[in-house]
Amino acid sequence: MSVFESKNKILKPIEKEPFLDVIDQIATLFSAGNFYYFILNFETLNMDYVSDGTQSVLGIDSNDFTLNKFLDLLNPEDLEKIHEKEAASLNFKLNKIPKEDIIKYKTVYILRVKLKNGETKTLLHQAKVLNLSEDGKVFQVMSIHTDVTYLNPPIDHKISFISNERPSYYSLETGENFSLVENNFKTIFTSREIEVIEKLSKGYDFNEIAKLLYVSPHTINTHKRNILRKSNCRNTAELITKCIREGVI
């Protein structure tokens, strides 16, 4: 992608670090559902590693998975917007935060792919910088794509930058309207409400959640109503999608 080469041209690469050494620090990126992950080298735009999950999600063998093959699968509208989102992501990392904070954030957005069999899937894209080049550019990035088609999430082409250590920025516009607006979506829920959300995301019904949390089904129903009101979501599927995308669960 041209945005990587123009905005993130690496002049002083570093020795590549073994991806296994950083698996623990990015474990929180994984979410429920079928997924695959890969490590993209921004100097060469080649894959340093691809997991086996590409076969079950995309129908592509991990040995055959490349950046160009993935871009060829993108919905035309998403292909146009992904340039905006990746430009916003690099702008955020290289111009809006201190260099030492770059590895503290993950980038999150939704995209759609159309497989060779005609099936369309919606993927949750989560990406985290693993290391920087000697000249402070993004060098290796680990991306995780989770199949969230079953949740039928709205496609809004917004982007989020999420950190457990620094301010987070959720559902930002891209393109000409891009601007950083700090918000605290996760903090609108109580710890008990987050427990309920986590259980809902795993498919438990009211009675099962009530037993697990030692309360009545009526209490769980009350929690759900409050959660939907606070999150401005219409139903459980929309709630879970928003919470996964914005780092609540």
The domain tally of the chain equals: 2
Same domain, 157 and 201: no
What amino acid occupies position 81?
K
pLDDT at 60 over 60: yes
Query: Which residue range is the domain that position 47 belongs to?
Result: 2-183
Per-residue confidence band for 180, with pLDDT thresholds at 50, 70 and 90: confident
User: Comparing C-alpha atoms, which of 141, 140, 84, 91 is closest to residue 111?
Assistant: 84
Same domain, 191 and 133: no
CB-side neighbour CA atoms (13 Å) of 122:
14
CATH (domain of 145): 3.30.450.20
Query: CA-to-CA distance for 140 and 52, rounded, in angstroms?
Result: 19
Same domain, 98 and 212: no
Q: Among 135, 163, 183, where does a domain finish?
A: 183
Query: CA-to-CA distance for 178 and 203, rounded, in angstroms?
Result: 35
What is the reported pLDDT for 151?
A: 80
What is the reported pLDDT for 24?
A: 47
pLDDT at 18 over 60: no
pTM above 0.85, yes or no: no
Same domain, 177 and 221: no
Mean pLDDT of 206-231: 92
Same domain, 193 and 179: no
Same domain, 135 and 215: no
Strand order in the sheet with 35-41: 46-50, 35-41, 138-147, 120-132, 106-114, 159-162, 169-172
User: Comparing C-alpha atoms, which of 78, 100, 72, 105 is closest to residue 89?
Assistant: 105
Where is average pLDDT lowest: 3-12, 123-132, 136-145, 193-202?
Answer: 3-12
Mean pLDDT of 24-32: 53
